[in-house]
Structure 1
Amino acid sequence: MVEWNQPIDEITKEAFHNLQIKYPDGDTNVMQAHYESWANTYDKDCEGLRYNGPDVICDAVDRWISASDKNECNILDLGARTGLVGKALRDRGYRGEMTAVDFSQNMLDQALKGRQIYNVAINHCLTADNPLPIEDEKFDLVVAGGAFGPNTIRANCLPEAFRITRRRGYVAITQRLSEKNRPFLDMMDSEINRMIAAQEIEQLETKPFTQYSWICEENETEQLKGRLLVFRKL
């Protein structure tokens, strides 16, 4: 099912093809193979589709982390892909240790190629039965730009993001909003509500934003919406 009108120019149409038409249904292994093959053109495709997720995450993080703490903030970029969120954070002045985790080695290779973003890169497929190889409460901030989804990191892995976050630390997540994604979002919301009720986390922000946009027929702008979620660990 395609919910959006396609771009009119061929370059952006191919980017949209990678984002949506090739977006595979099935298990995580299928998605992992898709990202391995997408790594070389991922940055170009995100640029063509005006991907806004990294800036939205950085704006949110800046609202909660003081400028004086940027040099010491220890960050995990969960589902880092080619490092777009990590680079945006570095550009905003975050100078602390930064770790990347992604299930695609090719994506991580692109993130590390000629860039001074991450101190550590971990190739790992996070599932409920395969937790992160990271000690408890290591990070001040965990960011996950588009990493939680039905074919990537499942909703039942959300507690793992908080396990590795220090008390009073932050978790910032962006996710795609779509009818196709609604069953997963409902599972995610159920897990969030459970953790809030258990007084494990507090939700600081939730808001929709334009995640991608492009020009389609008759010079109309098409938009793919996402949502931002920001939490603090209690």
Structure 2
Amino acid sequence: MIQSKERQAEALVALVPHLPGEQRAVALQPGLEAALLIGNEWVRAEALTALAPQLPGPLLQRALEAPLMIRDEWERAKALVALAPQLPDEPRAVALQQSLEAALMIQDEGWRAQVLRVLAPQLSGPLLQYGLEATRKNEMWRMWVPAALFSRRSDLAPMLPSVRYALANHLLTLKDRRRRDVLMFCATESLFTPPILSPATVSLIAAHIAEICQEWRWL
């Protein structure tokens, strides 16, 4: 038997997605209540993120209030980003604004860029414009955020040169990193694909990667 109430809460939240339909519907409210009782902010945010797609309206609204109490900007932003797509229009707009505000407060640039990349495709109108304006302040954002949007927006073509410039600069920072790090970055589909790079450039990069991996002798 699990003695710790927090561990019990974590176990219940983990079980809810795997229950049959009727049992899951009954378990969602106690599952959410259990998630809200989790003391560790990171674990609480992860639990809310896991529950979000399954929660009906009233429970979802209650769940939306919980991330605002999370002090860690990274965890707060992640939970809000996960909850926002499940909401009706008006509360979704509020949640997206809160998500963007939380994302821009994240101190670590890499984490901030990751959250903005996931959040950007959900933004529209003034919020999207605000997010794009924010990308001008940071090279990592300038690379990741517009790249996440190019697949669904044709009006961002003027930003392509700055995205390519940021991409080239970031590649230069990887020159002393492990080969694995460079290859993982080059496997980022949203960056190494048209329209960010032309098909000819992508093919050339792929050919050079294959040559390096197969034919070079590593000391």
Determine if the TM-score, normalized by the shorter chain, exceeds 0.5: no
Give TM-score scaled by structure 1 length.
0.29
Greater share of strand: 1
Greater share of helix: 2
Give TM-score scaled by structure 2 length.
0.30
Higher RCO (C-alpha under 8 Å, 6+ residues apart): 1
- Larger-Rg structure: 2
